[in-house]
């Protein structure tokens, strides 16, 4: 039976709702949200080609692999379900999901990852609003309802122009590229770096990707990025 409880293992308290005028983010609850996420992924099967998760055949399969085995065990990670507040059926259909990962309580940083927007909501305000809401939550000081973190990171396949472009639009600064950063499982070679294979490699036959690293730091945030993000979130496309 799927759990009906929200994440209590994350380093920080998780509000029941994080929102802008355009979207609301709610903590992932397996019994409540797993079927909706599975349905969304099934309408956009190419999404998992760029991610180290899926495809999945059942809600239980999704929860076991993505939640129970990957995110929930670590206090550095948590997952949110995205809803489009401009839709009349706002609570009926998830627009996607988004996570905070690689969070450090000691060093006051986090990373926005697993940014997945389902097909019907792509090329709308949903992605920028979801990212902006998490940026506010992470970078605003506690007196403004945030966590007061110093750095929010973003990683993307160097060839994933949509992901890198979204980060740049939201004020992230490109810091560099990690070459041969991730081994791609067989069947998930989309976006490989084109490098040659080496005979005798422990994972011979598996391609690799190069990863672009971007970030927004607290001083960027206070020196104009917050206003930039608010402006982007006011747009509806």
**Which CATH number goes with the domain that contains 80?**
3.40.630.30
0.75 surpassed by pTM: yes
Domain that holds residue 211: 18-231
Q: Is residue 4 part of a domain?
A: no
pLDDT band at residue 186 using 50, 70 and 90 as cut-offs: confident
Token output for 143: 């007196």
β-pair partners for 209: 182
Q: Is residue 70 part of a domain?
A: yes
The predicted pLDDT at position 50 comes to 77
Q: Is residue 177 part of a domain?
A: yes
Q: Is residue 144 part of a domain?
A: yes
Nearest CA among 183, 207, 182, 211 for reference residue 194: 207
Q: How many domains does the structure of the chain reveal?
A: 1
Kindly report the backbone phi and psi dihedral angles of residue 46, in degrees, each rounded to the nearest multiple of 5, phi listed first.
-70, -15
For residue 72, the Cα-to-chain-centroid distance in whole angstroms is 15
* Three-class secondary structure of residue 117 per DSSP: strand
Q: Is residue 158 part of a domain?
A: yes
Distance CA 160, CA 71 (A): 23
Q: Is residue 141 part of a domain?
A: yes
pLDDT band at residue 210 using 50, 70 and 90 as cut-offs: very high
Q: Is residue 188 part of a domain?
A: yes
pLDDT band at residue 235 using 50, 70 and 90 as cut-offs: confident
Distance CA 141, CA 232 (A): 21
- DSSP H helices, the chain, are 30-43, 59-62, 126-139, 161-169, 218-220, 226-234
pLDDT in tens, 2-49: 999 999 999 999 999 999 999 999 999 999 999 999 999 998 888 887
Distance CA 205, CA 80 (A): 35
pLDDT band at residue 135 using 50, 70 and 90 as cut-offs: very high
Q: Is residue 115 part of a domain?
A: yes
* Three-class secondary structure of residue 135 per DSSP: helix
The predicted pLDDT at position 237 comes to 64
pLDDT for 179 beyond 80: yes
Q: How far is CA 184 from CA 71, 103, 202, 208, 230, in A?
A: 19, 24, 13, 5, 36
């Amino acid at each position: 039976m799927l759990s009906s409880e929200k994440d209590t293992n994350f380093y920080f308290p998780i509000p029941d709702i994080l929102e802008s005028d355009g979207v609301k983010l709610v903590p992932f609850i397996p019994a409540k949200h797993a079927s909706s996420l599975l349905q969304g992924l099934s309408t956009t099967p190419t999404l998992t080609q760029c991610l180290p998760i899926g495809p999945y055949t059942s809600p239980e399969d999704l929860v076991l692999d993505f939640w129970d085995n990957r995110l929930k065990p670590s206090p550095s990670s948590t997952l949110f379900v995205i809803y489009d507040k401009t839709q009349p059926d706002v609570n009926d259909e998830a627009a996607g999901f988004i996570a905070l990962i690689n969070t450090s309580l000691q060093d006051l940083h986090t990373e926005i990852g697993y940014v997945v927007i389902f097909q019907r909501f792509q090329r709308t305000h949903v992605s920028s609003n979801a990212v902006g809401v998490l940026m506010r939550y992470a970078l605003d000081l506690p007196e403004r309802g945030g966590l007061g973190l110093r750095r929010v990171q973003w990683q993307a396949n160097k060839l994933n122009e949509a992901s890198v472009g979204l980060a740049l639009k939201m004020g992230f600064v490109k810091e560099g590229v990690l070459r041969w950063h991730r081994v791609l499982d067989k069947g998930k070679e989309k976006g490989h770096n084109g490098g040659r294979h080496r005979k005798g490699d422990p994972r011979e036959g598996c391609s690799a990707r190069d990863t672009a690293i971007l970030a927004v730091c607290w001083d960027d945030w206070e020196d104009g990025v917050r206003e930039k993000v608010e402006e982007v979130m006011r747009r509806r496309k």
